[in-house]
Structure 1
C-alpha cells in the first residue's frame, strides 16, 4: 500500500491545499500525455501476491513483523493485517511466464523456511477460512502509520459502524468499528504496462473480461464460518471499506471500491473521475511542484495524484509510475484472489494477459458490443456464482461461463499470448489449467466447499471441518499441482 507516513492531524486547509496540488498534478499529466512523453513499451508485467500467516493449528498468526525480520527480503512487505504479507515480484516480459513461475516458487520456498523458524506457515488463499470476528479488530492492524491514518480517516468519513450483509448459500450479518475486516481479503494483482495511446483499449478489455476472470479463478467461499459467494472477497472488500452512510448511498454517491460506470477513451478519464468524485482521504503533500519540474525538462512523480489514486479501489486501476527516469502507465488488475497454487496463479495470469491483449487488438472491440452495465453485472455474477455462473456475452446471449471460456475466450487468450511471444509449451500448459477447471467444474472455491461438506458428512462440526479443509489445502498447495487435480 505504499510508503510509511508519519502520523498527522489534518486541518480543513490541508484538504483544500491538497486538492489544489492534485489538480496541478492533473495539469502536468495532461501535458505529458499531449507531448507523448511516456515510455511506450508493452509486454511487461509484474505481480503483487498477498499471503496469510498461520500457526500450527491453522489459526491466523499475528507475526508479520517477526517473519519480515527473519526474511530480510525487500520483495516482502506488510499488508493491512498482522497476519498478512505481500510479495512484490519485479516486472519482466510476459514472454517469460514460465521463468516467472519458477522464481515465485523459489522465493516462496525460501520464505516458508524462514517463517517456519517463527512457528508460522504461509498460505495462498483468497480468504483464510479460520478467521473469526475476534481476529479482525484494530489491535491486529499492522504497525504501519499509513494503515492507521487510512483507518482513522475512513472511520471518520463513515461516521458510524461499518456493516457487512452478504447473502450467498448462507447469510452473514456483521459490524466493525474499523476497516480491519478488509485484511481478510488477500488477492493477486497483475500489472500490465501499456502505451498511453492504447491504454483505454486495454482497460476496457480488462473490464469486459472481469466476470469470466473472477468466475473461473474464485477461491474465497468461506468467511466467519459461513459459505457465502464463490468469491466472497469481492463483497467483503466492497462493504468493509464503504465510507458512505445510507443517506449518501441513496443520493448516488459513488463507492470507493468501484467497478466504474462507463467505457473510457483515455487514461485521463479515470484519473479525472477519481479527482472529481472522491474527496481526499490522506491529504499529505510533498515539496514537488509538478508543473515546474515539467517546464524544466524533468519527470514529475505526481505524488499527490498517486496517493489519491491509491485510495480509490477500482477493480482495474490506472497506475502512473516512473522507472529509470521515464514515466509509464499500467493497468493494475485487482480482480483475483490469491492461490490456490503458484501454477494456478500463473494460469490465471496467462488467461488474463492473453485475453486482454487479443481483445484490445480486435478491429471490432468487445466494449462496442457489450453494455458497460452488463459487464458490471457479469462481474458480480461471476463473483457470486463462480464457475457455475451464467453470464451474458455478445453473440452468445446467456451462456454458462465454462462454455464461454472454452469455446470463445481460451482461443482468444492463446492468440494474445502468441502476440506477447509466450512459448507454445507455456501457453498450452497454463491455458490448459483453465480449460481443465472448466471441464471438471472445479476451482479453488468448489474444492473448498466440497472438502468442508465432505468433512461435515464425516461428523465434524463446521469449525472442525474448516480447519480440516485448510490443513488439506496447505498440503496440496505445497505440491503446486493445479487445484482441479486435488482429491477430496
Structure 2
C-alpha cells in the first residue's frame, strides 16, 4: 500500500481519485453498520499526551526531534513544534486496573523523556500552553523538521494567506497577526479514546457532546498566552483560529472552520459526521492505492478504510468519531480532544477516568437529546467552560441553568462512578481518580485558577516576564512532585531562579506595556502622555507599526528651544531621536549597562524585526540592582 501523498493542496486529478476512495470507504462503513460487522459489547480506552520542553531558564527548548531520535521509542511521535512531542498509550480494556496501568505507562515513558531532557539541561512541562512562550519561539525555526509538517504548513498558508488575525478576550485582550501553522504548534492536549458500540453510537456521541462543557470546566489549564490572561482554556480559541483556513474574502460566513464542535445533534446515524465533513471540506491529503473495502469484506477480510481515516484526521472535531482495527476486529471509538495536557500525570488519569466513566454510563434520561435540549446550548456550554472554568454555568436538559460545581458534583461524578463500576474497574482506582476530580472541583482550584492567582500575585510585585518565568518554574516543580493540582501552593518569586536566571538578559525586566505615538501625532500628545503616565520616553512608530525613533523629555525641550514659533504645530517625527541605539531581548544586562554608560543615554529600545517589543531605562537598572542586593543580603543572613 502506498503511503499518504501530501500536496499543496492536491491537484484536481489526484483530488478526484482520492475522494472517490473516501466515498467508497464511507459506503463500506455504512455496509458494516447495517450488517453488524463492528465489534460490540467491548469497551477499550486509549490516550495520547502532548508534552513540552523547556530550557534551563524555563523558556521553550527546540529539542523534541532530537529526544525522539535518541529514545527511538514507538510510543513517542513528533508534533508540530520542535518544543513538543506526543506520547501514545497502548489501548486496553476498560476493566480492572486499566487506569492504574495507564498511569504506570505514562510515568514510565515520561521518566525516559525527562532523563533525555535533563541530559540537555532541559525540563518537561505538561500544560495546554507554555506561559513563557513569546514571539521569538513562534518562528519558522520552531517547525518540526519533517516534510509532512512543512507541507501542512504550506497547505494552510496557501489556503489562508501569509498571516492570520487572532482575537481572544479575557482579563486581557490578544489582538495580533501571525503565522497560521506556528500558532497551532503552541497548544498541547490530552486526548482520550473510548471504544463504543456502533448500535448505540448516535446517543453515545450526543451524550459525549453534552458533557464536554462540564468536563472541560473541571480540567482547564491554559490561561496565559503571550503574556495575556485570556480564557481559562485559551487552547480552544487559539487552535480554532490557528487551524482556520477560510479567507474573509471567500464567503467565510457560509463555510465551516476546520476545528469545530459541530452544528447539530446526530439524528439517525453516525455517518452524518463523515457525510457533513466530505460535503464541507476540501482534502488536505491524498492516499491512493488502498484495496477496495467492499471487496475485502466479501473476501472475509477487515478493511482499514485508510482513505476516509486519512481525511478524517484533517478535520479537528473536539469530539471525533474514529474507525480502527485491532486484533482483526473493526470498531468505532470517540476521540475526546477538549482536554489540556497536565497539570500532573495523576490529574490527567483522573480526567480520563471522569470522562470515560461518564460516557460509558449514559443514563436512560440522556437518550434522545435532540428532543430535550437545543444543540446550541451544548455548544455554548463548552465555550463558557473554556472561558470561565469552574466559574461558568450551564443550560441543562431540565431547562434550568446550573453552576459548574453543582452539576459536576451532584450529577456527573455519580454517573461517572456508576459507569466505571459497571465496567468492573478497580474500586480503589475509582475512589482515587474520581476523588481527585471531586476535590479539585470542591476546592475550586483547577490548573487555570492556580496559574491565574499565582501570576496576578506576582505581577503586583514585579515584571510580567519574571512573573511568567516564576509561574512556569513553579509548574515544573509541582508537576514533578506528583501532587494533584488542587493541593498546589502559590508560586513564590524566588522559584524563577537566582538573580542571573531572572535578570540575565533584558527580556526579564524590560517594560512591555508601552505608550506609543505615531510619526504624525502632535508633540503635545507625547508631552501629555509623559505627564499622565510619569514616564520619560515614548517610542514612535509609523502607520505600519515599524519603530522609527524615540521621544524623551530632553528632545522635547531641545526642540522647543530651537523651534519656539513652530513648536505648537510640531509632529512626533520632528522631535524624535531617529535611529537610536537599540538592543534585542537577549542582550545581557552587562552589555545593556555598558551601552547606557558609554553612550550617555537614558534608555534602550528593545526591537525585533523593526518592531519595538520593550524598553529598558535607567530606572529599570535601579530595580535590578535592588533585586540583586536584596538577594545577596538574604544569602549573607542565611
TM-score (norm 1): 0.95
Determine the C-alpha separation between the residues in 2 that align with 1:440 and 1:213.
Answer: 16
Q: Deviations over 1:167-223 (max 9, x none)?
A: 111100122234111111100000101121122222111100010111110000000
Which of 414, 435, 438 is 1:435 aligned to?
438
> 1:15-34 residue pairs with structure 2 within 5 A?
15-34=15-34
Which of 95, 118, 121 is 2:120 aligned to?
118
Which of 171, 185, 188 is 1:183 aligned to?
185
Contact 1:214-1:336 at 8 Å conserved across structures: yes
Using a 3 Å threshold, how does the CA distance of structure 1 residues 118 and 360 change in structure 2: closer, same or farther? farther
- Give the structure, 1 or 2, with the largest relative contact order (CA under 8 Å, sep 6 or more): 1
> 1:341-352 residue pairs with structure 2 within 5 A?
341-352=344-355
Partner residue of 1:206?
208
Determine the C-alpha separation between the residues in 2 that align with 1:365 and 1:7.
Answer: 40
Which of 254, 258, 272 is 1:256 aligned to?
258
Determine the C-alpha separation between the residues in 1 that align with 2:42 and 2:370.
Answer: 21
Partner residue of 1:318?
321
Partner residue of 1:14?
14
Determine the C-alpha separation between the residues in 2 that align with 1:288 and 1:90.
Answer: 27
Contact 2:4-2:286 at 8 Å conserved across structures: no
Partner residue of 1:56?
56
> 1:233-272 residue pairs with structure 2 within 5 A?
233-248=235-250, 250-264=252-266, 265-272=268-275
Counterpart check, 1:391 vs 2:394: yes
Deviation of 1:296 (Å): 2.5
Determine the C-alpha separation between the residues in 1 that align with 2:394 and 2:378.
Answer: 9
Gapped regions of structure 2 (runs ≥ 5)? 491-638
Deviation of 1:149 (Å): 1.9
Deviation of 1:92 (Å): 0.9
Bigger shift: residues 357-366 or 180-189: 357-366
Which of 363, 380, 385 is 1:382 aligned to?
385
Contact 2:7-2:285 at 8 Å conserved across structures: no
> 1:219-238 residue pairs with structure 2 within 5 A?
219-238=221-240
Determine the C-alpha separation between the residues in 1 that align with 2:6 and 2:387.
Answer: 38
Deviation of 1:249 (Å): 5.7
> 1:98-177 residue pairs with structure 2 within 5 A?
98-177=100-179
Deviation of 1:252 (Å): 2.2
Deviation of 1:263 (Å): 1.5
Counterpart check, 1:422 vs 2:450: no
Q: Secondary structure at the match of 2:92?
A: strand
CA RMSD of aligned residues (A): 1.8
Contact 2:191-2:336 at 8 Å conserved across structures: yes
Deviation of 1:361 (Å): 5.1
Deviation of 1:377 (Å): 0.3
Q: Deviations over 1:350-392 (max 9, x none)?
A: 1111111222655755554221110000000000011111111
> 1:347-358 residue pairs with structure 2 within 5 A?
347-358=350-361
Counterpart check, 1:91 vs 2:94: no
Determine the C-alpha separation between the residues in 2 that align with 1:4 and 1:119.
Answer: 37
Gapped regions of structure 1 (runs ≥ 5)? none
Determine the C-alpha separation between the residues in 2 that align with 1:57 and 1:302.
Answer: 46
Using a 3 Å threshold, how does the CA distance of structure 1 residues 367 and 353 change in structure 2: closer, same or farther? farther
Q: Secondary structure at the match of 1:119?
A: coil
Which of 398, 406, 410 is 2:409 aligned to?
406
Q: Deviations over 1:48-105 (max 9, x none)?
A: 0000011111111111121112222110111110010000000112222122212322
Q: Secondary structure at the match of 1:87?
A: strand
Structure number with greater Rg is: 2
Determine the C-alpha separation between the residues in 2 that align with 1:117 and 1:160.
Answer: 37
Contact 2:4-2:288 at 8 Å conserved across structures: no
Which of 275, 279, 301 is 2:278 aligned to?
275
Bigger shift: residues 59-68 or 293-302: 293-302
Q: Secondary structure at the match of 2:81?
A: coil
Q: Deviations over 1:257-308 (max 9, x none)?
A: 0101121132211111111111111123234222332333222222111111
Determine the C-alpha separation between the residues in 1 that align with 2:313 and 2:260.
Answer: 13
Determine the C-alpha separation between the residues in 2 that align with 1:132 and 1:208.
Answer: 35
> 1:469-488 residue pairs with structure 2 within 5 A?
469-488=471-490
Counterpart check, 1:450 vs 2:453: yes
Determine the C-alpha separation between the residues in 1 that align with 2:25 and 2:105.
Answer: 37
Contact 1:138-1:178 at 8 Å conserved across structures: no
Determine the C-alpha separation between the residues in 2 that align with 1:49 and 1:237.
Answer: 16
Using a 3 Å threshold, how does the CA distance of structure 1 residues 340 and 249 change in structure 2: closer, same or farther? farther
Determine the C-alpha separation between the residues in 2 that align with 1:394 and 1:179.
Answer: 38
Determine the C-alpha separation between the residues in 1 that align with 2:7 and 2:281.
Answer: 21
Determine the C-alpha separation between the residues in 2 that align with 1:249 and 1:227.
Answer: 32
Using a 3 Å threshold, how does the CA distance of structure 1 residues 86 and 401 change in structure 2: closer, same or farther? same
Contact 1:137-1:181 at 8 Å conserved across structures: no
Deviation of 1:426 (Å): 1.4
Using a 3 Å threshold, how does the CA distance of structure 1 residues 120 and 382 change in structure 2: closer, same or farther? same
Deviation of 1:422 (Å): 1.5
Using a 3 Å threshold, how does the CA distance of structure 1 residues 5 and 132 change in structure 2: closer, same or farther? farther
Contact 1:286-1:303 at 8 Å conserved across structures: no
Contact 2:5-2:286 at 8 Å conserved across structures: no
Q: Secondary structure at the match of 1:52?
A: strand
